[in-house]
Structure 1
Amino acid sequence: MITSTTLGLFLLSVSLLLLSPGPNMAFLLSYSTLQGPRAACAVALGIAIADVVLTLLTAGGVTAMLMAWPFMFDVLRLAGAVYLLWLAYKAWRSGGMTAMATLPRRSERDIVRMALFNSLLNPKALLFFMVFLPQFVDASLGHIGWQLCQLGAMLTVLAFVFHAVLGALAATASAYLLRRPGFARWQGRVLAMVLIGLAMRLLLMQRPAP
């Protein structure tokens, strides 16, 4: 059983990491802005499913094997960077976060699936689960795989709540902001630059030492 001290430190660390911008947050804000709180919950669910998948892969040692294989790491890194650049292009052309979703509006099921793949295609997520989660495992307690599953479950729940609430807030704010002249164009330019920066960071990312 994970100790209360370890659990408190883990939850604090996860909370701080969730506040840092990344592809998941950009994807969440785009669809919550376009389609409202229900879409935000769908994105949060897709990310949560990805977290469960990555937790199980980590507990089984699969992520360590994938990240130690240079070809697979490079494929994931390049695929994620290309995807982010494509989103940046659409945001710049159309001038807003709504450009990241192709009209007509997506169903909640489609949004869940897209959020799932958006998270799984991000090699930073693999690195996060491979490097971050094991730091909170106490080998002396045994059952390392079970400890990883417990940590992953708590991370999944916390991330789901965070993304659902953030998306709902963004949807509420967008109803007012998107009516203001010039906001959509400014929003699109800023979002495009953020996405380009994230893509460049992926392209420059080095494979971790085995």
Structure 2
Amino acid sequence: MPGIATLSIFAAAVVMLLLSPGPNMAFVLAHGVAYGASGGAAAALGITAADLILTILTATGITAIVAAWTPALDAIRYAGAAYLLWMAYQAWSRRVGIHHDVTRETSLTAVFVRAMLNGLLNPKALLFFMVFLPRFVDPGHGAVTPQLVVLGCVLAAIAAVFHVALGAGAGPLNRMLSGRSTAARLQSRALAVVLALLALRLVLMTHAS
């Protein structure tokens, strides 16, 4: 297991990374505004689930195998972009009326799953785990695999707290806009734009970025 000093430095580095605007932050905020604090929390937990899965893949060496094969990274990238565009289309084309609440159309489970898949279908996240976690492994503190698992779980826990708080912060805006058909339509369209921009980011991403 990594030492206390290493874990402290690692936790500080994770917090600094989380405070930098990124796709996960945009994803959680967009779903918090569209579906309320519970929707933001569901998105946050979906991202956490993806982080834990990526931790396991990194600890077992699978991420290194995938990263070494460029076609695999491209396939993940384009699949992720296609999935985001499909979600964007659904959000944009959703019908909203006076008695039609957009926040009731999508279950929290669906938000959780879409957030998890969004994380897993992002090759940049896979590469991040493969490069970032090993930097904090100390061979003098035992086997590498358990250390990677501990580091990944610490990262996932810190990110979960941060993203749940972020989603909760976006919740009040959802309550302000709820019950108004025009506002609900804008919520849905804003979510669609965010998802489309995230898809474009994946498409334009290079292996060096």
Alignment TM-score, normalising by the size of structure 2: 0.79
**Equivalent residues of 1:67, 1:207 under 8 A apart:** no
Counterparts in 2 of 1:183 and 1:12: CA distance versus 1, 3 Å: farther
Q: Residue 199 of structure 2 aligns to which amino acid in structure 1?
A: A
Q: Are 1:173 and 2:173 matched, yes or no?
A: yes
Name the counterpart of 2:114.
114
Deviation at 1:13, TM superposition (A): 1.6
The answer to which of 40-49 and 60-69 deviates more is 40-49
The answer to which of 186-195 and 158-167 deviates more is 186-195
Name the counterpart of 2:22.
21
Name the counterpart of 2:134.
134
**Equivalent residues of 2:35, 2:103 under 8 A apart:** no
Name the counterpart of 1:104.
105
Q: Distance in 2 between matches of 1:10 and 1:201?
A: 27
State how many pairs are aligned.
202
Task: Give structure 1 stretches of 5+ with no counterpart.
Answer: 95-100
Name the counterpart of 2:70.
70
Q: Distance in 1 between matches of 2:181 and 2:114?
A: 30
Identity %: 47
Q: Distance in 1 between matches of 2:22 and 2:78?
A: 19
**Equivalent residues of 2:29, 2:167 under 8 A apart:** yes
Q: Are 1:53 and 2:53 matched, yes or no?
A: yes
Name the counterpart of 2:83.
83
Deviation at 1:141, TM superposition (A): 2.5
Deviation at 1:86, TM superposition (A): 4.2
Name the counterpart of 1:146.
146
Q: Distance in 2 between matches of 1:189 and 1:36?
A: 15
**Equivalent residues of 1:46, 1:111 under 8 A apart:** yes
The answer to which of 180-189 and 132-141 deviates more is 180-189
**Equivalent residues of 2:33, 2:187 under 8 A apart:** no
Q: Distance in 2 between matches of 1:135 and 1:69?
A: 22
The answer to which of 55-64 and 181-190 deviates more is 181-190
Deviation at 1:157, TM superposition (A): 0.8
Spell out, residue by residue over 1:86-105, the C-alpha distance to the aligned partner (whole angstroms, 9 max, x if none): 455566677xxxxxx79623
The answer to which of 45-54 and 3-12 deviates more is 3-12
The answer to which of 25-34 and 181-190 deviates more is 181-190
SS of 1:13's equivalent?
Answer: helix
Alignment TM-score, normalising by the size of structure 1: 0.79
Deviation at 1:17, TM superposition (A): 1.8
Q: Distance in 1 between matches of 2:186 and 2:103?
A: 20
SS of 2:2's equivalent?
Answer: coil
The answer to which of 149-158 and 193-202 deviates more is 193-202
The answer to which of 53-62 and 194-203 deviates more is 194-203
